[in-house]
Amino acid sequence: MTSEDKDLVKVEYDNGVAWVSFNRPEKRNAMTPKLAGRMLEVLDEVEVREDVGVMVLTGEGTAFSAGMDIKEYFRDMKGKPHIEEIRARRKNWEWQWRRLRYFEKATIAMVNGWCCGGAFLPMASCDLAIAADDAKFVLSEINWGILPAGNVTKAVAANMPARTGIYYAMTGLPFDGKQAAAYGMVNESVPLADLRKRTRELADVLLEKSPAVLKSCKEVFKRTLDHNLGWDISEEYLIAKQEQLWMLAGEERERGFKQFLDDKSYKPGMGMYKRD
Ligand code: COA
């Protein structure tokens, strides 16, 4: 990978947080096959760093991302062997969906501006999302004659009320960060000037938690949801994961018990126990 390719994604490490930014602001961070390759590398790098507890995904400039690069993923693929197209798309879905959705660290999408079409997928794959009030979300596919495919429709259906999601998929009309928060597509929206500060505050709440418990917490939530587990299997699965966690990080709950029941130094309903 050339240094130019590496620059397609910017990574900054700061006190437990990896700030990962799409870095094609002049193209509104439209995602190319090379960017997908770089994101796979970045995810591998961030995931194993012990000094990182939270990864924030955002975009440089005025866009989070304008979605799939229409030239590189669509027009330039015309006439190429089908296998090439499949490989390029597979790499894209690999990072946006399989890797990111079950990433081993907590993830927050920080939606700073335009979030179009294909960009809904990485945004929704993050555990949490915060948008700028004026960020613009648009399922633009219908406006240029394709479907919100590649699991974008699934990401919308899973994170918005059905009537609202189908409305935006069928009309291609935009909605803003405040609306996205009201629909549940993002957790909250704040003025753009406060976006980074608010994201950092949320990351700091997550950094207080035990990394092992946090990882397991997000994983069981998503797998229970994604696999539509029935109540019996879900119960079995959650018990098994809980027991696995006690074996791997049982000291965490012991600390919690002690500080609540013996030391009376905190109340679980009102915050976190001291981890050190
Ligand atoms: N694919 C390829 N190029 C894109 C792109 C995309 N998804 N989104 C933006 N660009 C390019 C533009 O072609 C332009 O290139 P140029 O400078 O060589 O002319 C550059 O990025 C800047 O875009 P521009 O349209 O001038 O920016 P804007 O701020 O006026 O508008 C958007 C922003 C997001 C509204 C507009 O760029 C847009 O509609 N993009 C396409 C969104 C889309 O449908 N994405 C695909 C979803 S799968």
- What mean pLDDT is predicted for residues 32-37? 96
Q: Is the CB of 123 under 6 A from ligand 1?
A: no
Q: Same domain, yes or no, for 245 and 162?
A: no
Q: Is the CB of 28 under 6 A from ligand 1?
A: yes
Give the mutation target among 24, 28, 142 for probing the ligand 1 site: most ligand atoms within 8 A of CB: 28
Q: Same domain, yes or no, for 162 and 229?
A: no
Q: How far apart are CA 172 and CA 140, in angstroms?
A: 5
Q: Is the CB of 152 under 6 A from ligand 1?
A: no
- pLDDT at position 1 is 80
Q: Which of 74, 1, 78 is nearest to 34 (CA)?
A: 1
Q: Same domain, yes or no, for 222 and 176?
A: no
CA end-to-end span of the chain, whole Å?
41
DSSP string, 230-269: -HHHHHHHHHHHHHHHHHHHHHHHHHHHIIIIIS----GG
Report CA dihedral (36, 220, 206, 37) to the nearest 10 degrees.
Answer: -10
Inside any domain, residue 276: no
Mean pLDDT of the chain: 96
Asked whether the beta carbons of 208 and 275 are under 8 A apart, the reply is yes
pLDDT tops 90 at residue 150: no
- pLDDT at position 190 is 98
Q: How far is the CA of 68 from the centre of ligand 1 (A)?
A: 10
Which among 189, 207, 225 is the end of a domain? 207
Looking at the structure of the chain, the number of domains it has is 2
Q: Same domain, yes or no, for 12 and 116?
A: yes
Its domain, for residue 254, covers: 211-270
pLDDT digits (tens, 9 = 90+) for 156-196: 999 999 999 999 999 999 999 999 999 999 999 999 999 99
pTM of the model: 0.96
Inside any domain, residue 174: yes
- What mean pLDDT is predicted for residues 100-120? 98
Q: Same domain, yes or no, for 36 and 53?
A: yes
Q: Same domain, yes or no, for 184 and 72?
A: yes
Which string of b and e fits 216-249 if b means at least 16 CB within 10 Å?
bbbebeebeeeeebeeeeeeeeeeebeeebeeeb
DSSP 119: G
Inside any domain, residue 68: yes
Q: How far is the CA of 266 from the centre of ligand 1 (A)?
A: 51
